[in-house]
Amino acid sequence: MVVVSKESEESLNQLFRALADGTRRSILVRSLTETPSVSELAARYAMSFAAVQKHVAVLERAGLIQKRANGREQLVSTNHARLQRAGELLEYFESIWRQRMTQLDDILLPKGK
């Protein structure tokens, strides 16, 4: 069962918005297989450290990643559950779509009654 629940619209907005940027998707993917520090991440992109730091902050606010202090470094890892949440909402849309298809089937291919 797909739960739509009381999750705030704003929370979903942030979730999808965070995914709507190539640099952030790249950071997210990297953090799926590694646990890079912010500066290790920054070294990979052709932009300032501060810019990457902002992208990380957007992902963090969206709940897609979390940071863990390790000495002077901040290690970035993904929040898998949160990533799944985006997928669940899309699955919910899918289910609405399928329901419609089923209804059309009922009209075109009546079985009961």
Is residue 21 at the binding interface for DNA, with CB under 7 A as the rule? yes
Quote the DSSP letter at residue 13: H
- Helix, strand and coil percent figures for the chain, each rounded to 5: 60, 10, 25
Tokens representing residue 8 in the block:
């705030």
Is residue 17 at the binding interface for a second copy, with CB under 8 A as the rule? yes
Q: For 77, list phi and psi in degrees, rounded to 5.
A: -135, 155
- The one-letter code for the residue type at 2 is V
Specify the residue, 48 or 99, whose C-beta has the smaller distance to DNA: 48
Q: Choose the stretch contacting DNA; rule: CB under 7 A; options: 33-41, 82-90, 91-99, 101-109.
A: 33-41
Specify the residue, 49 or 93, whose C-beta has the smaller distance to DNA: 49
Residues 75-94 that bind DNA (CB under 7 A): 75
Is residue 67 at the binding interface for DNA, with CB under 7 A as the rule? yes
